[in-house]
Structure 1
Amino acid sequence: MPRKKRPVYAIGLMSGTSADGVDGVVLEIADRGKLTIHSTVNRAYPKPIKDKIRRLIGRKISDAQQSENLDIELARHYAEAVCGLLETIDRKKVSVIGCHGQTIHHSPHSDPPFSLQIGDGAELARLANIAVVTDFRSADLAVGGQGAPLAPAFHQAAFASKAEHRSVVNIGGIANITFLPAVDKSAAASDAECNVSRKGILKIMGFDTGPGNTLMDYWCRAHFDCDYDHNGELAESGTIQLDLLDMLLKDAYFAMPPPKSTGLEYFNARWLDEKLRLWEGREQATNTDILATLTALTAKTIADQVNALTPAAATAYVCGGGAKNRVLTALLKQQTTLIIETTAALGIDPQWVEAAAFAWMAYRTLNRLTSTLPSVTGASKPTIAGVISHP
């Protein structure tokens, strides 16, 4: 019998568009590709870092030195998260760190297209004394892709089933969906073959559905003096304004066919405030009514795509911070014919899925394996994603 290979360990770091902190995991990649979370850490951004990120995203920082200082500050914050993870495992066992970085601007339709994440990989590699992979999006953009979403290849590796079609819904600042057809993972688990659509064979699909938590979080900061709606408790006390919801749903992004991706440069305070200025019911609605309506917008735009992509009697698995919002998940269940679960049912807690994805992608990059899917991003070919910084 062939000798069983020792497991490989990779660290993944994810800073989402909500800009509230960094999630980190140690991912065990065992023989035959089995993926297991070994340990986890979350480090909230200190308020000064959080404020700088939001000013930079909002184009309120124009000084190049301030931007560069934030790049280094984030790397050092990420290094602290790595130190916490290394308390749980021998450093020598960790082969690589995958660090997504903090997205500042995502512009796949500009000329030239670009996507900017900050968090200096070389500084992180120096501090951690481990190779670091960053800049995961540029290679896909260079071959005509959107550079996003990137998690679907990991979703396929971690969550696909031979027995049923599945959808994975990530609700972060922006929400995205991955459709996983029933497939033999051992036969088509990794590179180009996993997204080739031959006649009669369904293909993996994935795209950003629109706002996840970002508009709700903005409204909470602006009107309730909190960063987010804990468990949906504020929205639960409001009434969904159907005429406002209908107005918001008419935005052109929702009708665009995939491949498509978006970010805070589109769905942001300016977008929402402009819509509200045009809405005749603004004077009569309470702030909780508007929050309830924004929650319904996220649920409706996700549910429409879940229903369109996933055959009946299948399951949609939810991850990301939105999985904790019970009002949002209840609306999802009401508006779909599918079973709605979280990814915990498949062995990975919803909070850690994205960080695990970048650990997995970094491992593949280090081994010169592709981890992007043309059927998702619209690129001309799969790519080896990311740039490696050695200590």
Structure 2
Amino acid sequence: MSAERFIGVLSGTSLDALDLALVHINKSGTISQLDALNWKLPESLQQQCHDLCTPGANELVRYGIADRLFAETVAEGVHTLLAKNKLTAADIRAIGSHGQTVRHHPDANPAFTLQLGCPHTISALTGIAVVGQFRQKDIALGGEGAPLAPALHQKIFQVAEEQRIIANIGGIANITYLPASESEPVIGFDTGPGNTLMDYWVQKHLQHDYDANGDWAASGISDQSLLALMQSDPYFQKLPPKSTGREYFTPAWLQQALQQHAEAGATPTAPENIQATLLELTAITLTDAINAIPNPNSVPKRSVYVCGGGAHNQALTERCRTLLPNVSWQTTEAIGVHPDWVEAVLFAWLAWAHVHGVAPDLTKVTGAKRATVLGAYIPAS
């Protein structure tokens, strides 16, 4: 069987645009990326998604409408990517569409996760089979439903020459530990907020989509008492497997921390200092999580490879290097995949895995009872 083309799509926890990756995958699961596209979400849809991340009125109707609108936007992005590459629907085996998470509650009883982006609508509008709902089966088997990326990281990044840690800094940050020995388990979990709180704060005060290069944060000084208050959140003390989302680390979460800080008698903190504190929170919780991974012999060497939007935040990555001075820090481009496209490639690969009955083993990552084929298949016809 020759290589097949798949498209992977997600918007991630930063919630500003769709990332689409067009890939070739052969019968052994080896991936060759052909092209990628960043497709902006309409501002009205961005706002609808933001609103659905927190409790509000008439949620079911708003969810149903946003579910369809998000799927229509995915279909537009797919058509654009196909036209760009002079391809038709018949050239694509399947689309792997993650959707946009608006609620993720692995600790609820029973646990659940909700994503926008109706796969039936995507299939109807593109004429291509769609694999979606990737997290639900893992949760049904007792897992966290996240992170899923370690399955791909192990497939394409694990080597015998070094211990690798893939640090994905999107709206939420997560890590994957890839031991040099295949006899050791792969470990992966969400460490806490990545860009989500920093994005919110710079949008609120400077009306920028994000803090370019971390320049605004770098202009401030982190507030150590506020940082300590934030770090006291129970999520940071919880042991893996664990996962979280932007619906936990919300603007309301930040405002509550600021209110508690003020009620404790703290001097008001300047906005740029709060931004610096949020950057420090991301850097410390990420590097603390890496430090907690056992490394008794320090052989072979340990390296960190960064992907996601946070890979472009120079102030953040420099701070991480300072906190972990004996560890090499590079982006995933150094090992073959551009940092902006790793997660889109993930969902293309998960669509391939579903179509071919491959069950990624995430038992040591999510806590699921067993390996399972992930996703639900919506045929093109």
Task: State the TM-score bracket (shorter-chain normalisation).
Answer: over 0.9
Q: Distance between the aligned counterparts of 2:98 and 2:210, measured in 1?
A: 23
Q: Residues 42-99 of structure 1: CA distance to partner in whole angstroms, max 9, x if unpaired?
A: 1111111111111111223525333212111111100111112212153333211000
Equivalence for 1:376? 365
SS of 2:93 mapped into structure 1: strand
- The root-mean-square deviation of aligned C-alpha atoms, in Å, is 1.5
Q: Distance between the aligned counterparts of 1:137 and 1:82, measured in 2?
A: 22
SS of 1:37 mapped into structure 2: strand
Q: Residues 333-386 of structure 1: CA distance to partner in whole angstroms, max 9, x if unpaired?
A: 111121011000011111100010000001100111112510000011011111
How far apart are residue 314 of structure 1 and its match? Answer: 1.0
Q: Which moved more, 1:283-292 or 1:114-123?
A: 283-292
Equivalence for 1:90? 87
Q: Which runs of 5+ in 1 are unaligned?
A: 185-200
Equivalence for 1:359? 348
Q: Distance between the aligned counterparts of 1:65 and 1:258, measured in 2?
A: 35
Q: Which runs of 5+ in 2 are unaligned?
A: none
The change in CA–CA distance for 1:134 and 1:33 in structure 2 (over 3 A counts) is closer
TM-score by length of 2: 0.94
Q: Distance between the aligned counterparts of 2:237 and 2:193, measured in 1?
A: 14
2:171 is the counterpart of 1:178: no
Write out aligned runs for 1:60-79 (5 A): 60-79=56-75
Aligned length: 371
Which one of the candidate residues 271, 293, 297 is aligned to 1:287?
271
Q: Distance between the aligned counterparts of 1:248 and 1:63, measured in 2?
A: 29
Equivalence for 2:284? 300
Write out aligned runs for 1:160-199 (5 A): 160-183=158-181
SS of 2:341 mapped into structure 1: helix
Q: Counterpart of 2:7 in structure 1: which amino acid?
A: I
Q: Is the 8 A contact 2:166 2:307 kept in 1?
A: yes
Equivalence for 2:50? 54
Q: Counterpart of 1:323 in structure 2: which amino acid?
A: A
2:37 is the counterpart of 1:41: yes
TM-score by length of 1: 0.91
Equivalence for 2:191? 209
SS of 2:24 mapped into structure 1: strand
2:327 is the counterpart of 1:330: no
Q: Residues 25-54 of structure 1: CA distance to partner in whole angstroms, max 9, x if unpaired?
A: 011213643322110011111111111111
Q: Is the 8 A contact 1:175 1:211 kept in 2?
A: yes
Q: Residues 240-285 of structure 1: CA distance to partner in whole angstroms, max 9, x if unpaired?
A: 1122212211221111110000112221111111111121475442
Q: Counterpart of 1:348 in structure 2: which amino acid?
A: V
Q: Distance between the aligned counterparts of 2:59 and 2:319, measured in 1?
A: 43
Q: Distance between the aligned counterparts of 2:80 and 2:179, measured in 1?
A: 37
Which one of the candidate residues 145, 148, 158 is aligned to 1:147?
145
Q: Distance between the aligned counterparts of 2:303 and 2:275, measured in 1?
A: 28
2:251 is the counterpart of 1:269: yes
Write out aligned runs for 1:13-32 (5 A): 13-30=9-26, 32=28
SS of 2:292 mapped into structure 1: helix
The change in CA–CA distance for 1:135 and 1:279 in structure 2 (over 3 A counts) is same
Q: Is the 8 A contact 1:208 1:260 kept in 2?
A: yes
Q: Is the 8 A contact 2:52 2:59 kept in 1?
A: no
2:329 is the counterpart of 1:340: yes
SS of 2:340 mapped into structure 1: helix
Q: % of aligned pairs identical?
A: 40
